[in-house]
Amino acid sequence: MGAEQQTNRPEQSLRYGAVEAAIWRNNGENGDFLNTTFSRHFRHEDEWRQTDSFREQDLPTLSKAAADAHSRIQEMKAADRAASGEGK
């Protein structure tokens, strides 16, 4: 993860078992934009860790997380447009 993501919290996150999709709001020259990162949580000895590497059996869950993150982003963008008056 980048330094910016380590200090900030995601706008939203979706968790399905060990798989997580985190939706980040960033500021750019042309306004806000949304990015998504994916991680898999696992326990190593007595410590929780995370990785961006996925096992074969994680792929269906990763696919669902990606599809649901896409839907959530579309909802967030629609809410942003409505709040700014663009949807009228």
Residue 1 has pLDDT above 50, yes or no: no
Q: Are 58 and 19 in contact (CB under 8 A)?
A: yes
Q: Return the beta strands (E) in 1-88 as ranges.
A: 12-16, 19-28, 31-44, 47-51
Q: How many domains does the chain have?
A: 1
Q: Which amino acid is residue 48, in one-letter code?
A: W
Domain residues for the domain of 47 are: 3-84
State the pLDDT at residue 31: 84
Q: How far is CA 87 from CA 26, 39, 74, in A?
A: 22, 34, 13
Rg (CA), the chain: 15
Determine the pLDDT at residue 5.
47
The values of phi and psi at residue 83, to 5°, are -65, -30
Looking at every residue in the chain, the average pLDDT score rounds to 90
Please write the tens of the pLDDT for every residue from 50-59: 999 999 999 9
pLDDT of 27-79, one tens digit each? 889 888 999 999 999 999 999 999 999 999 999 999 999 999 999 999 999 99
